[in-house]
A and B are shown apart, each in its own frame.
Chain A
Amino acid sequence: SAVISQKPSRDICQRGTSLTIQCQVDSQVTMMFWYRQQPGQSLTLIATANQGSEATYESGFVIDKFPISRPNLTFSTLTVSNMSPEDSSIYLCSVVGTGRNEQFFGPGTRLTVL
């Protein structure tokens, strides 16, 4: 499976600011996703990060709030914009392996908004 790293691992931010989270994979992958995991909850897909084109967002998530970049097949960023305390969550990137439909996750970024 691919080795996935995320930066930062955690952060505490002030309301109204923005944070950019980076996801780096040690090999080229076609499919990369961003998820949100609110406290004590399951995982919810935010968007599919498409290489060289705009991300595909799920219902309830918009580009203005969660802009995503995917400049190449090993790297993506997710920005959480104009943050409020409700954005406090773990944000996870994931990739689909080169085998079958298996999906692997990064370690996550734990965000707290005050």
Chain B
Amino acid sequence: GQQLNQSPQSMFIQEGEDVSMNCTSSSIFNTWLWYKQDPGEGPVLLIALYKAGELTSNGRLTAQFGITRKDSFLNISASIPSDVGIYFCAGQRTSGTYKYIFGTGTRLKVLA
């Protein structure tokens, strides 16, 4: 199935560093969701974005809905070891269908 491009694919960072990842597409999206998945568990919703340019925070996490509506960004500030996991973006192209396309994922590893 179709997937969104996420970058970077994986990253190793030192504890305390800030992290940035993004999700891009050639198509326009109406809603962006960001998830974190820990090993052996289902994805957990972190942030939801509903309009172009929207900037939303959830603790140390900040996400933005790109103004072109074709991309989204997630930043994590002052990373800690429990930030380890796989981060997925998900975009909804058509309002009301509730169907999402998922990104390829960014695997984050934090070095203490």
Contacts and interface: CB of A to CB of B under 8 A. Distances in A.
A10 to B, nearest CB: 9
Contact of B45 (A33, A44, A104, A110): A104
Interface in A10-34: 31, 33
Nearest to A104: B45
Given A48-B99, A103-B98, A43 B43 contact: yes
A101 interface: yes
B99 A45 contact: yes
A92 B42 contact: yes
B33 A59 contact: no
Nearest to B104: A42
A45 to B, nearest CB: 6
Interface string B16-47: 00000000000000010101000011111100
Interface string A74-114: 00000000000000000010001000111111111010000
Interface residues on A, range: 20 to 34
B21 to A, nearest CB: 14
Contacts of A60: 1
Interface of A: 1, 4, 31, 33, 42-45, 48, 58-60, 92, 96, 100-108, 110
Interface of B: 1, 3, 31, 33, 35, 40-45, 48, 50, 88, 90, 92, 95, 98-100, 102-105
Given A102-B48, A103-B45, 11 more contacts: A42-B3, A42-B105, A43-B43, A43-B88, A43-B102, A45-B1, A100-B48, A101-B31, A103-B100, A105-B35, A105-B43
20 contacts: A1-B45, A31-B98, A42-B88, A43-B102, A45-B99, A45-B100, A59-B1, A60-B1, A96-B98, A100-B48, A101-B48, A101-B95, A101-B98, A102-B45, A102-B48, A103-B45, A105-B35, A105-B45, A108-B42, A110-B40
